[in-house]
Amino acid sequence: MATLQELYKFKGNPDLTHWKTVKIFSLAEASLLTVGIDPLEYSHLSDHPLKDELRLSRPINWQHALLLMRSIAEAICTHEVKSPFINLEKSDYSNTWDIVEEQAKIGIENASEIILTSTKIHRDELFKWLKKNGYFEQQLSVINVESTLEKVASFSSDNDEVLLLPEPTYTTPALDALNGVIQEFWVSYDTENNLPIPKQSVVASWIKANYPDIQANDICTYIDKICRHPNAKRGGNKKLNP
């Protein structure tokens, strides 16, 4: 099996830094990025046309990309990898339709039904799965591990380094959701230009949609309060005296 460093070298060390702020990828995007192929080149294609195009045009690392799609889909079905959004393609003798399913309800028998271009995987889950399966082994033996993992997470390559994902520390589903809310609503929030303040209900709905393990309203409320920018707590959100 090729390591990430080798895959990127095969591809000519492409610049994929424009993907560095993306937190959640489709399985197709995750697989293409891992092998050094820019998913934007194939974003107009659904599952079967995407596979056909890769087989027909045969870009460098295309075999790795196709097998990664299959492997990550199987890892989701065996619950080795958590997914915030699973989309399945169902069919009978005359009809085909899509359904969104909870991860707890699927098994390995659903692997062939996973829709690769719409089922999602979080950046941290992808990192853990790639590390577990040895994609970093050679890379980590020839570069400074600590300095690399401290750099900004990105699917990019610079000379002999492949900067992919940060080493995850101890976490829980609630902490993952908290960090997700910060990235989604507050990292780029401009307090000087009176931008619309995200409502608590909007934040809660986003958490439930992206973090299936966090569904309790009180936990969503606590996460929102912890993350909310101090300037965004003023105005119509003041507490009224009884």
Q: Which of 163, 195, 219 is the last residue of a domain?
A: 163
Residue 241 lies inside a defined structural domain of this protein: no
pLDDT exceeds cutoff 50 at 143: no
134 and 31 housed in the same domain: yes
Residues 91 and 34 reside in one and the same domain: yes
What value does the mean pLDDT take over residues 63-85?
Answer: 95
What is the residue-averaged pLDDT of the chain? 82
Give the residue with greater pLDDT, 160 vs 130: 130
Please give the pLDDT value at position 86: 94
Check residues 65 and 166 and name the one with the higher pLDDT. 65
For residue 68, the model assigns a pLDDT of 95
Is pLDDT larger for residue 235 or for residue 214?
214
Mean pLDDT for 84-98 is: 90
pLDDT for 184 equals: 85
| DSSP H helices in 60-116 | 62-77
Same domain, 183 and 84: no
| Rounded CA separation 29/36 (Å) | 11
Residue type at position 64: H
Domain of residue 62 covers 4-163
pLDDT band at 56 (very low <50, low <70, confident <90, very high): very high
The total of structural domains in the chain comes to 2
When pLDDT is averaged across residues 71-94 and rounded to a whole number, the result is: 92
Domain boundary pick from 123, 141, 163: 163
Contacts of 174 (CB under 8 A, 6+ apart): 214, 219, 223
Does the pLDDT at position 36 exceed 50?
Answer: yes
Q: Which long-range contacts (CB under 8 A, 24 or more apart) does 55-61 make?
A: 60/10, 60/11, 60/12, 60/36, 61/7, 61/10, 61/11, 61/35, 61/36, 61/37
